[in-house]
Structure 1
Amino acid sequence: MVQAYVLVQTDAGLAGDLVDRIRGIDGVTRADDVTGPYDVIVHAEAGDIDELGRLVVARIQRLDGIARTLTCPIVQI
């Protein structure tokens, strides 16, 4: 199992709507509006790194209003 934080920048004024849509995506365990350089922080889980990549690229980045994402895999030692 791979877990990651996905930092999301949205188009102006769309964070509230997008966070609700992101919460409905399979593999997303949490999504919150935040302030600062990113608008939404997502916690996601996937079976492996390839599945995580597909989750971010095919499901999150394709939502209208998503400007940019940064995926930060969690390192568990």
Structure 2
Amino acid sequence: MLIQTEVGRAEVIANQLAALPGVLSAEYVTGPYDVVVRIGADSLEEMTASVVPAVQQVTGITRTLTCPIANGAHP
């Protein structure tokens, strides 16, 4: 997921996201997005029903873009 945050909140939000179930990694970055999060679930349905909404509920996130891996590979 690519995430935009309120100004100055990227590091704090990345740390909060890293603690959520289904979040494999969360890093704050520079550029048009502020945080890059790698998420995972047993199915696409589980991801869209629980993991993505949990991420989107974090205070300070202004926009998300979910980019599923096309070949289904995971770490």
Question: Normalized against structure 2, the TM-score is what?
Answer: 0.89
For structure 2, the residue ranges without an aligned partner over 5 or more in a row are none
Please show how residues 25-44 of structure 1 align to structure 2 within 5 Å. Answer: 25-44=20-39
Q: Which has the higher strand share?
A: 1
Equivalenced residue count is 71
Which ranges in structure 1 are unaligned for 5 or more consecutive residues? 1-5
Percent same amino acid among aligned pairs? 41
Query: What's the Cα RMSD here?
Result: 1.1
Q: 1:56 aligns with which of 48, 52, 56?
A: 52
Secondary structure at 1:46 match in 2: coil
Q: What amino acid is the match of 1:55?
A: V
CA distance in 2, matches of 1:34, 1:62: 20
Large movers: runs of 4+ above 6 Å: none
Normalised by the size of structure 1, how large is the TM-score? Answer: 0.87
Pair 1:13-2:20 in alignment: no
Tell me which of the two structures has the higher relative contact order, counting C-alpha pairs closer than 8 angstroms and 6 or more residues apart: 1
